[in-house]
Amino acid sequence: MDSITSWIGLIAAACTSLSYIPQVRKALPRGSTSDLSLKMLAVLTSGLAMWVVYGVLKTDWVIVVANTVGAGLSGAVLLCKLRDLRSSSKAAAKQVNASDQL
């Protein structure tokens, strides 16, 4: 890490990777992901995972580390979204079953 270019890349990687933290904190409470797009989260997480593979193949560890962190955090939000979708589906099914019994 002796060049200014490497430092700029490292700082940019830290900023973009860590920018997911507020979204993860917001998504952790149950039912708090209704305004997030499942498709966007799936595509974003997949894209970040592909960047990790690209970085490994190019042996560019700044790309690998930054996108591993980003994919992990984005994946956490994706899992929260899937959890909330499953919970809302179960709640809807219970409501339908309850109304059928009336």
The burial class, CB within 10 Å (0-12 / 13-18 / 19+), for 67 is buried
Residue 14 is part of a domain; what is its CATH number?
1.20.1280.290
Expressed as residue numbers, the domain containing 96 is: 4-100
Q: What predicted TM-score, i.e. pTM, was given to this entire model? A: 0.80
Tokens describing residue 42: 């799936």
Coil/strand/helix, residue 43: helix
Q: How many domains does the chain have?
A: 1
pLDDT value at residue 31 = 80
CB 35 within 8 A of CB 89: no
Report whether 58 belongs to an annotated binding site.
Answer: no
d(CA 62, CA 52): 10
| pLDDT tens for the chain, residues 1 to 102 | 578 988 898 899 999 999 999 999 999 998 889 999 999 999 999 999 999 999 999 999 989 999 999 999 999 999 999 999 998 877 666 666 666 666
